Amino acid sequence: MPIKIVILPEKNMQPVHKAQAGTFESSDIMILIEPLDNDGDNHIELSSSVGKQFKDQINRDITELLQKYEITGARIIAKDKGALSPTIKARVETAVLRSLDKQQGTLK
């Protein structure tokens, strides 16, 4: 099986279009990212079945990946069903790459 190489995006990027990653299944998280009309702050909307216990950690995981790629001016909608931290980070990273046209996804 051939290996697919993903080129990481440049820094200080704003999403180009809507993108999503993940599912609504148990132990997963659905991430939707879309550009805002500004170049400023990111806006995170989180709903979670484990939000009372882990809301702060989920927000940290999402924010960490946005900071890693220096993403600004994005709206993130996260619908969590008990995903673990590595899953959250992977879903956010995938949605970011798709929103920058660095990886193919289901929305366009």
The better pLDDT of the pair 10, 50 is held by 50
Going by C-alpha positions, the residue among 35, 58, 38, 36 that lies closest to residue 48 is 58
Report the alpha-carbon distance of residue 102 to residue 21 in Å, rounded.
Answer: 14
What does the pLDDT average to over 52-74?
Answer: 94
Domains in the chain, ordered, with CATH? Answer: 19-99 (3.30.230.10)
Backbone angles phi, psi at 85, to 5 degrees: -55, -45
- Are 46 and 58 in contact by the 8 Å Cβ rule? The answer is yes
What's the pLDDT band for 108 if we cut at 50, 70, 90?
A: low
pLDDT at 2: 63
Residue 82: pLDDT band with limits 50, 70, 90: very high
Q: Which of 42, 5, 45 is nearest to 29 (CA)?
A: 45
Residue 89 has pLDDT above 90, yes or no: yes
